[in-house]
Structure 1
Amino acid sequence: MADRSFSDLSLAALYDTLNPWGPAEDFYLDLVLSARSVLDVGCGTGQLLGRARETGHEGRLCGLDPAAAMLVQARRRADVEWVLGDLTTTRWEREFDLVVMTGHAFQVLLTDGELRLALAAARRALGEDGRFVFETRNPAVRAWESWTPERAREATDAHGEVVRVRHDVETPVAGDRVTFTETFEHPRWDRPRMSRSTLRFLGPAALDGFLTEAGFAVHERFGDWRRGPFTPTAPEIITVARPRESSPRPGPGDQ
């Protein structure tokens, strides 16, 4: 089930305002433009695939998201394929050259079972020369410690009004899961709107274990959106994975 920040129509309409285009989107756009067929898992409002089409991509672009409110925004474009669901509810067989999970969407896979199912589905969706690219925040940097009410974000919407969002992390943080509340404030609302979320922070060793089990090999890894090397203090773990040549294809009945 999608968090309220994605499933609420009014919050979905503000998503691009609060999350404007930046270096991460530039990084992924380059990848999308170099692939003939692309599946964007957790596509949200469709900003990435829409920009790719505007930039001249002529191949297949498919966005997948479990939040209908986000797809209301995405479906304003009719030249991209939009699918409601997630990797556990859909099935593609060798249909894409590139599968991406942007915006730290990979971190919403909270259990080992969810993670294995999603990776198996991504593996099935890719052709043999395909790439699976995603990012997760480096747990060693402990980014959640800066998610405090004092560091609220503000952005101006299309009507010139200021939207404000603040974060409150539930403490103590135990294990690799961090739960927090986002509070959204808008001048047109009679009260703030709140959304509670949980993200999983996995380190590179754990990520590599799951990828290997799913039939992937890490092809490249970066620590920032400028393609700098991954180091223990890098803010991001940006992974480019490819199907392993020797890995067997899951059969029709495999889960």
Structure 2
Amino acid sequence: MLEQARRRPELDIGWILGDLESVSREREFDFVVMTGHAFQALLGDDELRAALGAARAALTDGGQFGFETRDPLTRASESWATETPVEVAAGAAASMRMTRQVRSVDGEIVVFASTFDIPVGSAPRHSDSTLRFPGADRPDVFLAGAGPAVAEGYGDGAGGPPGEGGPEIIAVARRTPA
């Protein structure tokens, strides 16, 4: 992702790969983003609070923090319990086939396995994952405890309203002055 972003020299943005919890960044950034549903990989409340607190500390006053999580109301993981592969065209050169199988569900925690054929017909690759599907109100609750206040919310990448059947909860929170 960073390699792609750095190919856009017309953007006046400094891209940094890093973990805010492992390095102290105090009021350095105007915008911090957590992508790829990484919010869902924070499985425990303490881990989530620490990550959100680190994001807040890194923001300048008025700085923004953006992230997305799957909307739990769409119950996306229920469709993962199928053996039917999903095929994704990856341009003229290749395509990909993926299957997911849910191993267990314990409250908000979903453990699943994915199998990828990239390109289709090649030796499959396997990945085991665990994600948290917090309730629709939980991101706001955790953000309120960490300090940034939600300024904008969307239900999909096109800017649709949250909670109306969109697959995502996309939040942009703003650090208010101390």
Q: Give the TM-score range, shorter chain.
A: 0.7 to 0.9
2:11 aligned with 1:49: no
CA distance in 2, matches of 1:141, 1:188: 29
Matching residue within 212, 223, 248 for 2:155: 223
Judge conservation of contact 1:157–1:163 (CA < 8 Å) in 2: no
CA distance in 1, matches of 2:94, 2:166: 35
Aligned to 2:74: 141
Which has the larger share of strand?
A: 2
Once the 2 structures are TM-superposed, how far is the Cα of residue 130 of structure 1 from its aligned partner?
0.4
Aligned to 1:67: none
Per the alignment, do residues 222 and 163 of structure 1 end up closer, same or farther by CA in structure 2, a change over 3 Å counting?
A: closer
Per the alignment, do residues 175 and 89 of structure 1 end up closer, same or farther by CA in structure 2, a change over 3 Å counting?
A: same
Aligned to 1:11: none
Which has the larger share of helix?
A: 1
Matching residue within 182, 185, 205 for 2:137: 205
Once the 2 structures are TM-superposed, how far is the Cα of residue 97 of structure 1 from its aligned partner?
0.5
Aligned with 1:94: secondary structure? coil
Deviations 1:34-68 (Å, cap 9, x if unpaired)?
xxxxxxxxxxx4255235x34x112422233xxxx
Aligned with 1:120: secondary structure? helix
Per the alignment, do residues 186 and 141 of structure 1 end up closer, same or farther by CA in structure 2, a change over 3 Å counting?
A: closer
Per the alignment, do residues 136 and 190 of structure 1 end up closer, same or farther by CA in structure 2, a change over 3 Å counting?
A: closer
Q: TM-score when scaled to structure 2? A: 0.87
Aligned pairs, how many?
Answer: 177
Matching residue within 87, 97, 116 for 1:153: 87
Gapped regions of structure 1 (runs ≥ 5): 1-44, 65-85, 247-255
2:155 aligned with 1:245: no
Aligned to 1:129: 62
Per the alignment, do residues 228 and 161 of structure 1 end up closer, same or farther by CA in structure 2, a change over 3 Å counting?
A: closer
Once the 2 structures are TM-superposed, how far is the Cα of residue 232 of structure 1 from its aligned partner?
4.9
1:58 maps to amino acid: D
Gapped regions of structure 2 (runs ≥ 5): none
Q: TM-score when scaled to structure 1? A: 0.62
Identical positions, percent: 47
Aligned to 2:146: 214
Once the 2 structures are TM-superposed, how far is the Cα of residue 132 of structure 1 from its aligned partner?
0.3
Matching residue within 95, 101, 119 for 2:34: 101
Matching residue within 6, 14, 20 for 1:60: 14
Judge conservation of contact 2:96–2:120 (CA < 8 Å) in 1: no
Once the 2 structures are TM-superposed, how far is the Cα of residue 96 of structure 1 from its aligned partner?
0.7
Q: Which has the higher contact order (CA 8 A, sep 6+)?
A: 2
